[in-house]
Structure formats: C-alpha cells, structure tokens
Structure 1
Amino acid sequence: MKITVRLYAGFHEAVGSTELELEVPKGVTVLDVARILEEKFPGLRGRLVKDGELQDDVLVLVNGRSIEWLEGVKTKLRSGDRVAFFPPAAGG
C-alpha cells in the first residue's frame, strides 16, 4: 500500500525532499515507518528512533492529527494516509 510522508525542517534536509511516497506493507505502524525512513535514508539514522522507540521530541501527525490523540506509535496506517514528521523545535 502507498502512503505519503512529509518531512519538515532538518528532516527534509537529511533526505533531500519534503515529500515522499512510500510503498509499505499492510498493517504498518507509525513506528515502523520511522524505522523504514531511517533505514532508507542514512541522514535520518538516530534522529527518529532511539532504543527502538520514537524519539520523545519528534512530533508525528497522521492525516493532520497528532498521534498522541490516536494510538501513539502503534497507530496503524492505511493506504493513502499522510504522515508528517516534525523535528524538535528550537528557538529562544
């Protein structure tokens, strides 16, 4: 099945694109997608997943909704879903 992944700020710089279309297996979760991205793009390694879990400061939206309001990293994706990854905010 196909999903669309949007990457913001430093994440898209590491990949060289703001949007990707990924072919993923049925039943894939948000955490699975983060792992797939790290495997496919070495510039993302260690920036999305740490010790087998999603980094605490990474914000993920599925179809515009925070995964905090869904099933967290266990949120299962469906064909056509849009997943957005935001790096930690910095500023002052």
Structure 2
Amino acid sequence: MRLTVRPFAQLRERLGTEALELELPAGATAAELLELLLAKQPALAPFRESLLLARGAEMLAPGSALAEGDTVALYPPFSGG
C-alpha cells in the first residue's frame, strides 16, 4: 500500500522535503512505518526514540494499523508550557 508521510519542523529541514511517498505491505503498522523511515532516512536516527506519528488528529500507537492512501504526520519531540 502507498501512503504519504509529511515531516514537520526540524525533520522537514533535515529531510529536505515536505512529503515522502512510501510503499508498505498491506496491514502495516505505525511501528513498521517508523522502522522503514529510519532505514531509508538516516538523518532521522538522532530522533529515533522520540518521533511521533499522527493521522489527522489521532496520535498513532506502535500497533496502529495503516491503510492505503493514509497521510501520516511525522513530528519531532516537542514540549510546551
């Protein structure tokens, strides 16, 4: 299945793109997407433990199933106050 990943903030700058089109097996999970991203984009390695994935307004847990045509946001670590 094909999906789009949109990196935000410093991740967009590190990757040099506003969107990545990726192919994953049907039934892939957010954890599998993250592993594929890390394998294809070594610039993400420093953020490995703190990357966040979201679909719409929903933050994705590692076991969250993905679907054909999904657009997934990729967020760096952030904090607020």
Q: Same fold (TM over 0.5)?
A: yes
Determine the structure 2 residue equivalent to 1:7: 7
C-alpha separation between the residues in 2 aligned to 1:3 and 1:76? 12
Determine the structure 1 residue equivalent to 2:58.
66
TM-score of the superposed pair, with normalisation by structure 1: 0.76
- The alpha carbon displacement at 1:67 in A equals 2.5
Percent identity among equivalent residues? 36
Work out whether residues 59 and 66 of structure 1, in 8 Å CA contact, stay in contact via their aligned partners in 2. no
Give the superposed CA RMSD: 1.9
Q: Equivalent residue for 2:77?
A: 88
Shift of 1:90: 5.5
1:1-59 Cα offsets, whole Å, 9 max, x none, are 100100001111221112111111111111111111110011011413x3xxxx3xx33
Runs (5+) with no aligned partner, structure 1: none
Specify every segment of 5 or more residues in structure 2 that has no aligned partner in the other structure, as ranges. Answer: none
- Give 4+ residue runs of structure 1 displaced > 3 Å after superposition: none
User: TM-score w.r.t. structure 2 length?
Assistant: 0.85
What residue in structure 2 maps to residue 16 of structure 1?
Answer: 16
Distance 1:83 1:19 in 2: 10
The 5 A counterparts of 1:25-44 are 25-44=25-44
Number of matched residues? 81
